[in-house]
Structure formats: C-alpha cells, structure tokens
Structure 1
Amino acid sequence: MDCYIKQWHDLILNCNFDNTYKMVWSKAIVELSLNINEDAEEETIAFDFGEIAKLCLKYYWNQTIYFDLIQSPSFKKPPKIITSTKELIQEFFCKRGNVQPIRFEKIDFYSLKLEKQYEKTVKNITNTLRENVCWRFKELNGYTYEIYDLDSSKRNVVFSKQNVLKLKEHSDFLFTFINYRWTQMLEGFNYSPKISRKVRAIDEDNIKRASLKKFYKHLDLMFEDGQRKCFYCGEVINDTDVSVDHVIPWSYMFSDDLWNLVYCHKGENSKKSNRLPSEEDIVRLENRNTRLLQCMENKSLDYDQLQIAIDKDYVKKFWISFKG
C-alpha cells in the first residue's frame, strides 16, 4: 500500500468512536479528489471548507431523512451537525407539506425558497469542521499525520497535487473502507437492522419504496364485509383515503413484511411519520397477525413468512430492540 494512503488507512481505522464526523470529513475529501486531473497546472490543491461542508450535509441528510440513523453514542446531546441537518430537513418537510423523503442530490433549495436555511446550515457545518474536525482528524495517539495543511484564513485544506491524485487513484478502496468503519460505528449507536445495507444504499442511490398494493389481497382477508378499517382509529376507510403503513417504521426495518403492514387513513400514516408505535399498538399487531394467519391459505410464501414472524416473535423483539 502506498505510504500516503497507509496514513489515511491508519487514521480511519484507529479513530475514536465519539461520533461519525471523521467519516464524513474523509469521505468528502476523497470525493473532491475525483475532480482533480493529472494535467492540473497547480502543484498544490486547495479544497474549500464550504464545499466539504456541502458534501458532509449530503451524507448526513440522506442517512437521516431515510433512516434517522444516530451518529453518536449520546442520545441527549446529538452532534451539532446532525442537529443542523435535522432542522433543515424539518424546514424542507414544512415547505413541501409532507414528510416524503427525497435524496439531497435531487433538491433545489433555491426554487423552494429555502436558500437562507440551506446556507445557514452549510455555514454551521463549516464552522464545526474548522473548529473540531479538520485538525483532530490528523491526530492519533499524540502524533500528527502531515497528510494536508490547513489555511484557516482562506478556509482551505491544502494538499500537494501528487497526494490528491493518490486519493483519487485509491478512491474505490478508501470509499469502501470509510463505509466499513462508518458501519461499525453506526452499529454501536443504533438498534436498527441492516446498517450495512443502509449505508450502501445511500451511496448507490437504490433506496426504493416498492408498491405495497401486492399485500392488499392478504390484508383484505381481515374484512369479510369488504370494508377496510384503520388499524389506529378503527374507522372505515374510503377507497380514496386508504394507505398501507409499516407499524414499525420502514426507516427502521428497511423492508416490507406482511407481519408489519396494516391499513390506515393516509392522514394517520403521514402523522405517524417514523415514530415507534406504542406498546398497545404492538400488542394489537401481534393479535392481528394471529388472526390473519388463520385467514390465509397454507400454500404461499407469504403465509410461511408470517408463520415464522409469529413463531419467532418478530414484532415484540424488533420493537424492544429499537426502543433500546
């Protein structure tokens, strides 16, 4: 392994687990290196803190708006960057009038008239990176790795062109390794399953919410009179207002499972957002699953999966684990 890349490897491998700041910092720098070509005339390359901050916001936005992943061991005092990111997400939801998640790359904050909030968030992240991250990333066990220079007056991180090209050349390795370490950190902070899949999905832009209409044929078995009723309020749902909800939010499960799906009013679904259900709802879901299994024919994969979920007590086990 190249000596310079080995230094990056050592810093990422051995950094502390107080939060994930160093992961977004290193990932942003590697991503910026992809824009540098060998024929660049400058012998030194400077990356602006603001550009690094925008990429950090992108990473945290996508992990938060879809999965609400916790990025530090402290629940009562989340990292400042996460707080700023969540505030911007809430502004975004309020402006659009719904909580449908959208990737950061697909949003135009200026057309939404959220430019001031966006610029404020980038500024807050920039300040945190300058004050707490950029110099700490280089330090390990009392030793400072001279992998880049810091120009605080110009708000730049300065590299030799040769070293930036090394980052670019080894970018595939570095991205994979950063995600691996980031996943390890997140697994220590979160009870949510499939953390590695969620991290990969953010990078690969393959977060797809499949249509749930295929589950109607099973859920309808609960209503012999053909009138669907809301799981939460018990009232009959009009065909134009019907929605299928994940009782344990999709952001935790990252999967569509019959044992976790119920009918509800669209408004109930939006209002619930990604909050964990009450114990009363969990007990009602367990009872619903038992009744639903009795209504189904023992000839389908969905039947087998529901049977396994009941036998293994998935509802209660996942709910307890997510509550932490």
Structure 2
Amino acid sequence: MSWSLQAAEMKNPYILEEDIWKSIHYFFYHSKTTTTYKYGFFKALLENVANANEEKEISFDDLFYSFSKIYWNLVVHHGLWQSNSRGQVSSVQKAIATFQQGHEIPTEWNFDQLPGELQQDLITEVKKRGKKYVIGALYGDFNGEIYTFNLKKNYLKLNLKYYHFFHTYKRILTNVTNYQLAQFLEKFNEVEKVNQILSKVEFVTKRQSLKEFARLLQQAGVHQCFYCKKPVKKHVHVDHFIPWSYIQNDQLWNFVLSCPTCNTSKNNKLPIEKYLAAIMAQNESLKAKETLKDYFVNYNSEKLKTLYQYSERNGFRKEWEPRG
C-alpha cells in the first residue's frame, strides 16, 4: 500500500504530457478517497511549486504550512467534517480539533490569527500525520512518477515534467482541485455548513491581512506607489504583482506597495512588461538587506520572469498600466 511508504524514487522522469494528463484524470475521478487529505495536499503542492529550489525540491515545512492552514480554516474556522464516515474522524481533523480546544482558541479565528509559535506547534503535529498518510498515497495515485521522497528528509523532489506541467496549467488544476474538494465536503457535511462551499475552499489559504508585508516594505524605504510613483502613507495598499489567483502564495518578492487607485484598477490583472524589470530591481535591493534575506530563499530574477510568463499562459494578459 503506497500510503505506508517511507521513501520512493520517481519511476519515470521522462514521461510525456499525455501521461501526466492520464494520471491527473485518475487522481481526480478514479482514485480511492475516504478523506480530503489528497485534495488538500495536492492543493498545497500547487501553491508551493513556486517555492521549489533549482533542484525542484520543495520543503516539507512549506508544504505543511499550507496544508495546516488549509485544514485549520476548514476544520475550525468553517466547522467542516473531513471524512466520508461520521463514525471515523480523520487523524488530521482530530489533531487540529484537539489543538484548538487544548489552547482554548476561538473557533472564529482563522489560521493567520494564531501567534507564530502556535502556528509552528500545530504544523509540527499536522506534519507527523501528513507524512504518515498523505505523501506516499499521492505518490501511488500518480503511478510513482510525480516525485521522489524520503520521510527522513525534509523535502520532496518534483519530477521536472510535473514541475513545468503544474506551472503551465496551474489555474485549471487549482480550480479542479477546489471543485473536487468542495464536492467531497458537500457530501459529508450539514446543509447549513456548505453554504458558499466553493468560495470557502477557494480562499481557504488567502491571507486576511497583508499589513506585515506593508510594514516590511516601508521599513525598507519604499514609500511610493510602485505603479504611478505617487507617495503612499496613510492609505497604502499591498499588491500581488503576479495575481494571487495564479500564484496562490504570499511572498515578499511578489509584493509591491500601491495607491488605492492603482490597486483597485489593477485588481486581478497582469502589469505590462516594463514593470517586470522594475520589480526585479526592487527585489535585488530588498534581498541585499540583512533583515530581509530569509524572505528571498530560493528566489532569483529568472524565477520571477518565468512565473510572469507562466501566468500569461494561464490567461493573464500583460496589458494593465496606470491610467493617465
């Protein structure tokens, strides 16, 4: 049984895109699913593909940060049951519920409201169970071709073909994952809890506040709108340069300060190419600062340029610029 594997090598690193599509269809429509684990982990994998290093390795810390956030918000914040049996609570759901009750955390708190130390403690608990039940299971569903892993190490290594496939079709894959997860939850939860279920699933990892990033940018000396160059002080906005709906992640290297007018106008659009050079220059300046270097692990300008190109392939036209 693949879920119990402790380590495994990817079986075929030279697969075709057609083979990946076959595995995608199997995963979503034919694999055995008794809990939401595999959907949640696949969602976390998609969200963290931009965090892969040059060897296409993604750390378990990054993956289970996203995984923990997904499940905290589903289980505690939205009160959703994660198993197909009312008589059998899933291990992750039980661990999170026990953690929330033990620390007397209000159910209305989303994951971002937890103090950093509690977040790390929770991630540690969730990672134990995720490594036991999820990583090997997903490996098996994808015919052993998706990644190499060893549970004693702190990362998995994506198949290069899957790495490019995930970037190329990320928007479609994210939407299908959200739909399948929502459909599962809809079957095994009370009617009143599944109101707007797809929206709950879609935005389950989106930050409630970006004030932390505004503070970091301002402390680094950024005090004007990245786009129109007007000074921003009181009414400062933080904008995902590459839209969040594609990148599905919050990284300092993808954030700029914006005035309300530009941020509202840009919304979910991709800026014209001249701004790509500008944000790469901003990032070079930021990552040179000792206090910010940890925010630029696995970042380089070429990666940002590639993500910009991938976002265009996902339907974001590089056509937005400030008015006037």
TM-score (normalizing by structure 1): 0.52
Contact 2:146 2:159 in 1 (8 A): no
Q: What CA deviation, in whole Å up to 9, does each residue of 1:99-155 have, x standing for no partner? A: 361322x32413xxxx2x543322222122222211112324xx8341111123313
Q: Matches of 2:138 and 2:89 in 1, distance apart?
A: 19
2:196 is paired with a residue whose SS is: helix
Report matched runs for 1:192-203 at 5 Å: 192-193=191-192, 195=194, 197-203=196-202
Report matched runs for 1:148-167 at 5 Å: 148-167=147-166
Contact 2:92 2:130 in 1 (8 A): no
User: In the alignment, which of 29, 35, 47 is matched to residue 31 of structure 1?
Assistant: 47
2:137 is paired with a residue whose SS is: coil
Alignment correspondent of 1:80: 91
**Counterpart amino acid of 1:90?**
Q
1:64 is paired with a residue whose SS is: helix
1:198 Cα shift? Answer: 2.2
Report the CA distance shift for 1:178/1:138 in structure 2 as closer, same or farther (over 3 A).
same
Report the CA distance shift for 1:79/1:63 in structure 2 as closer, same or farther (over 3 A).
same
Contact 1:33 1:167 in 2 (8 A): yes
Q: What CA deviation, in whole Å up to 9, does each residue of 1:271-294 have, x standing for no partner? A: xxxxxxxxxxxxxxxxxxxxxxxx
Q: Matches of 1:22 and 1:196 in 2, distance apart?
A: 23
**Counterpart amino acid of 2:194?**
I
Report the CA distance shift for 1:154/1:188 in structure 2 as closer, same or farther (over 3 A).
same
Q: Matches of 1:18 and 1:81 in 2, distance apart?
A: 13
Report matched runs for 1:193-272 at 5 Å: 193=192, 195=194, 197-204=196-203
**Counterpart amino acid of 1:101?**
E
Alignment correspondent of 1:109: 115
Alignment correspondent of 2:29: 13
Stretches (4+) displaced over 4 A: 205-208
Is the aligned partner of 1:22 residue 2:38? yes
Report the CA distance shift for 1:194/1:186 in structure 2 as closer, same or farther (over 3 A).
same
1:91 Cα shift? Answer: 4.6
Contact 1:151 1:158 in 2 (8 A): no
Report the CA distance shift for 1:154/1:100 in structure 2 as closer, same or farther (over 3 A).
closer
TM-score (normalizing by structure 2): 0.52
Q: Matches of 1:23 and 1:162 in 2, distance apart?
A: 20
Contact 2:78 2:193 in 1 (8 A): no
Contact 1:201 1:207 in 2 (8 A): no
Alignment correspondent of 1:134: 135
Q: What runs of 5+ residues in structure 1 fail to find an aligned partner?
A: 209-324
Q: % of aligned pairs identical?
A: 19
Report the CA distance shift for 1:196/1:163 in structure 2 as closer, same or farther (over 3 A).
farther
Alignment correspondent of 2:80: 69
**Counterpart amino acid of 2:110?**
R
Contact 1:32 1:47 in 2 (8 A): yes
Is the aligned partner of 1:89 residue 2:100? yes
1:72 is paired with a residue whose SS is: coil
Q: Matches of 1:189 and 1:75 in 2, distance apart?
A: 8
Alignment correspondent of 1:319: none
Q: What runs of 5+ residues in structure 2 fail to find an aligned partner?
A: 1-15, 209-324
Alignment correspondent of 2:234: none
Report the CA distance shift for 1:160/1:154 in structure 2 as closer, same or farther (over 3 A).
same
Report the CA distance shift for 1:15/1:195 in structure 2 as closer, same or farther (over 3 A).
farther
1:47 is paired with a residue whose SS is: strand
2:57 is paired with a residue whose SS is: strand
1:88 Cα shift? Answer: 2.9
Aligned-residue Cα RMSD (Å) equals: 2.9
Report matched runs for 1:113-128 at 5 Å: 115=117, 117-128=118-129
> What is the aligned residue count?
191
1:87 Cα shift? Answer: 2.5
1:76 is paired with a residue whose SS is: coil
Contact 2:56 2:157 in 1 (8 A): yes
Contact 1:7 1:145 in 2 (8 A): no
Is the aligned partner of 1:175 residue 2:181? no
Report the CA distance shift for 1:30/1:207 in structure 2 as closer, same or farther (over 3 A).
closer
Alignment correspondent of 1:2: 17
Q: Matches of 1:21 and 1:160 in 2, distance apart?
A: 21
Q: Matches of 1:108 and 1:144 in 2, distance apart?
A: 37
